[in-house]
Chain A
Amino acid sequence: MPVLTFLEAISDALRYEMKRDESVFMLGEDIAEYGGAFKITKGFLEEFGRSRVLNTPISETAILGAAIGAALNGMRPVAEMQFMDFVTNGFNQLVNVASTTAYRWGMGVPMVVRGPAGGGVGGGPFHSRNSEAWFAHTPGLKVVYPAFPADAKGLLISSIRDNNPVVYYEHKGLYRKIREEVPEGEYIVPLGKARIVREGRDASVITYGSMVHESLAAAEDLEKEGVSVEVVDIRTLIPFDEETVLASVRKTNRVLIAHEATLTGGFGGEIAARIADRAFEYLDAPVRRVASFDSPTPFAPTMEKEVLPDRTKILFELRNLLAY
């Protein structure tokens, strides 16, 4: 099995689906000759031609609207946001048109909106946002946020084949940092299935995206002290795999939720509420959360490190949780 970076795994999934299904095509800014800002589509123009690797003007509304129209007309478009931050410019298309079409018209909108998100790379307020909670709060959209290359591939293939609009987040800090063996060819990870990435007995960390890796690091630190921490990667926010999360809570009785998105209104609050509602009697301590401080993501490295969650902050909260 080849060892691929997170970024290569995404390219692999896109290439595989475009080869397999002629209705799959990509549109976005600078994705053709230039291969995209992060080179996800490097070589795609030569392989698939200009009409399937479509450069667009800087027009997120047109990109997302056109993707919806193409999806209604038998295609499976994959729209790239050069940075996920810019999805705000096309917000209306996703939350009012794409998300309501199944409900109102009984018609699928098989489209994927994907792109780099997340902080920790000096991107500042406008190239660092984790906006997944906005879309998780919009009925009719599916929301995916993988943490590992193999999952990134398998979940992207599932997203492309899904008949509903999927918002697919790629943490740009993982693009070249994380590599692992990724199955060649057909490889599917179903949407709505969480994965226990580390088994443990004493506490559970429920997390996704970049915080999966920080949580695993914190769990390793605690292992040296004889504490066994379970790490659950939910992988998709919508659909949400409540069963796997609740099973972990019932097993360890202590829960920390970690995400890089800001705290207030973050998806962690939803997870905490579900746990309180369905597994309250299994809890030995209050559910704790680690998330970004409620501010825009600052530019200066000192300040960015201060507001973003990381291994140290997760470790600190895990100790509090275990000491309760």
Chain B
Amino acid sequence: MKTRTTSAKGKPLRHGSGKKASSDIPAVQPMSALGDDDRKKLFLHMLQAREFDMAMLRLYRQGRAFGGVYSQIGNEATAVGSAYAMRMSDALFPMHRDIGGHFVRGQSLEALMLNHTARVGSMMRGTDGTGHYADASKKIYGNVSHLGAMIPVAAGYVLSSKMRGEDTVAMTYIGDGGSQVGDFHEAMNFAAVQKLPLVLIVENNQYAYSTPNSEEFACTRLSDRAIGYGCFGETIDGTDVELVYETCRRAVERARAGEGPSIIEAVTMRMRGHAEHDDARYVPKGLVDEWEKRDPIALYQESLLQRGVMTEQEIADLRKQLSEEMNKAIDDAMALPYPPAEEGKKHVFVD
């Protein structure tokens, strides 16, 4: 494997570009912004994401969920840590493996479950599923399946905020696969030229469906692209939630201060197939085993216990509570019918 995969183990990579040299960035950032309450929340949202994921896998295997089920296992720290660095007045444009960010922004489990199972009353009326929805009250604007398409949309969102003198920041996401789509380039170039308050998280989970990094791009790190755009770029360990948070907090601050966009590459591993129909046999077993040791939730749980932020009992209670809430959400959703058929012919336009 390439250096970025191996070097991402253990210590995070830090890589500055654009107007900032990597030497300007201390090797270890103070985490003073996070208190224990924050840490508990980070852990909670990561657990919520994992719990949701496991529930969807169960439903899929039971034939009770249809369409694609895109696991985010392994991505919890990146999705949660990044979204936690935003204000509620900022706008989140997540991708399909960023369910953790929805919980950070206060989206309800019930709403997400209805949406994923296309039941009556779901946020998108059954017109679409997964995390593709938008909820203006929480400033969440989901993705479309065409990778990269929402990066220019997020750029336009904050372009207009900036025109009105507001200090809104947008955070959006792309994978190692989607980073090769032209939209990525056009949007980041435009955002850099306009110095837009945009933070792009590149979730490098090693595979674009079955295609490994080595067949996707030839640069060393995906954050290297920042040099070409004249914006800030950094590559970090995406399994360390506090590191992700701290890195993104700085990117958000830079954005808000008018210093323009950032590309944060968070190195992770997609622990399951592209979607649940895919057994991912193309991934070398040793690679998965290596990343198993770096499960973001297990790592953070250990860290919280060591630091005395939470006790074993508290964590066990929390897991039990989340499991019960999930079972109720599933039962409630499954008790509901699909939307009436005629809904499919409504609202192609707004008034």
A-side residues, CB < 8 A to B, are 25, 51-52, 54, 56-57, 59-62, 64-75, 77, 92-93, 96-97, 100-108, 139-140, 142, 163-164
- Report yes or no: A66 in contact with B152, Cβ–Cβ below 8 A: yes
Q: Of all chain A residues, which has the CB nearest B166?
A: A73
- Report yes or no: A66 in contact with B349, Cβ–Cβ below 8 A: no
Q: Which of A68, A75, A105 contacts B124 (CB 8 A)?
A: A105
- Report yes or no: B155 in contact with A65, Cβ–Cβ below 8 A: yes
- B114-154 CB contacts (< 8 Å) to partner A: 124-125, 127-128, 132-134, 136, 141, 144-146, 149-154
* A25, A65, A164: residue with the most chain B Cβ atoms closer than 10 Å: A65
A69 in contact with B183 given A57-B193, A97-B144, A140-B348 (CB within 8 Å): no
- Report yes or no: B133 in contact with A97, Cβ–Cβ below 8 A: no
5 contacts between A and B (CB under 8 A): A62-B186, A68-B156, A69-B159, A92-B149, A108-B350
Q: Of all chain A residues, which has the CB nearest B93?
A: A69
Q: Of all chain B residues, which has the CB nearest A64?
A: B152
Tell me how far the C-beta of A34 lies from the nearest C-beta in chain B, rounded to whole angstroms.
Answer: 17
B-side residues, CB < 8 A to A, are 91, 124-125, 127-128, 132-134, 136, 141, 144-146, 149-164, 182-183, 186-187, 189-190, 193, 347-351
Contacts of A61 in B (CB 8 A): 152, 182-183, 186-187
Whole-angstrom CA separation of A56 from B187 in the bound complex: 11
- Report yes or no: B350 in contact with A107, Cβ–Cβ below 8 A: yes
Tell me how far the C-beta of B230 lies from the nearest C-beta in chain A, rounded to whole angstroms.
Answer: 13
- Report yes or no: A59 in contact with B190, Cβ–Cβ below 8 A: yes
- Report yes or no: A70 in contact with B157, Cβ–Cβ below 8 A: yes
- Report yes or no: B189 in contact with A75, Cβ–Cβ below 8 A: no
Q: Of all chain B residues, which has the CB nearest A65?
A: B152
* B158, B159, B348: residue with the most chain A Cβ atoms closer than 10 Å: B159
A100 in contact with B160 given A62-B155, A66-B152, A93-B152 (CB within 8 Å): no
- Report yes or no: B186 in contact with A104, Cβ–Cβ below 8 A: no
Contacts of A105 in B (CB 8 A): 124, 133-134
A62 in contact with B189 given A96-B146, A97-B144, A104-B128 (CB within 8 Å): yes
- Report yes or no: B350 in contact with A163, Cβ–Cβ below 8 A: yes
Contacts of B350 in A (CB 8 A): 102, 106-108, 163-164
Whole-angstrom CA separation of A163 from B347 in the bound complex: 12
Contacts of A59 in B (CB 8 A): 186, 189-190
A72 in contact with B141 given A65-B149, A102-B349, A139-B348 (CB within 8 Å): yes
Whole-angstrom CA separation of A96 from B152 in the bound complex: 13
- Report yes or no: A97 in contact with B153, Cβ–Cβ below 8 A: yes
Q: Of all chain A residues, which has the CB nearest B162?
A: A51
Whole-angstrom CA separation of A51 from B155 in the bound complex: 14
- Report yes or no: A107 in contact with B134, Cβ–Cβ below 8 A: yes
Whole-angstrom CA separation of A100 from B156 in the bound complex: 18
- Report yes or no: A140 in contact with B349, Cβ–Cβ below 8 A: yes
Whole-angstrom CA separation of A66 from B188 in the bound complex: 11
Extra inter-chain contacts (10) besides given A65-B153, A73-B161, CB under 8 Å: A54-B159, A57-B193, A65-B186, A66-B156, A73-B157, A77-B156, A93-B149, A106-B347, A106-B350, A107-B134
Contacts of B163 in A (CB 8 A): 25, 51-52, 75
Whole-angstrom CA separation of A52 from B149 in the bound complex: 24
Q: Of all chain B residues, which has the CB nearest A164?
A: B349
- Report yes or no: B153 in contact with A68, Cβ–Cβ below 8 A: yes
Whole-angstrom CA separation of A103 from B344 in the bound complex: 9
Tell me how far the C-beta of A169 lies from the nearest C-beta in chain B, rounded to whole angstroms.
Answer: 19
Contacts of A52 in B (CB 8 A): 163
A73 in contact with B160 given A104-B128, A140-B348 (CB within 8 Å): yes
Whole-angstrom CA separation of A215 from B187 in the bound complex: 43
- Report yes or no: B187 in contact with A65, Cβ–Cβ below 8 A: yes
- Report yes or no: B155 in contact with A100, Cβ–Cβ below 8 A: no
- Report yes or no: B156 in contact with A67, Cβ–Cβ below 8 A: yes
- Report yes or no: A66 in contact with B159, Cβ–Cβ below 8 A: yes
Contacts of A142 in B (CB 8 A): 349
Tell me how far the C-beta of B86 lies from the nearest C-beta in chain A, rounded to whole angstroms.
Answer: 16
Contacts of B161 in A (CB 8 A): 73
Contacts of A51 in B (CB 8 A): 162-163
Contacts of B158 in A (CB 8 A): 69, 73
Contacts of B141 in A (CB 8 A): 72
Whole-angstrom CA separation of A169 from B94 in the bound complex: 34
- Report yes or no: B152 in contact with A62, Cβ–Cβ below 8 A: yes
* B125, B149, B349: residue with the most chain A Cβ atoms closer than 10 Å: B349
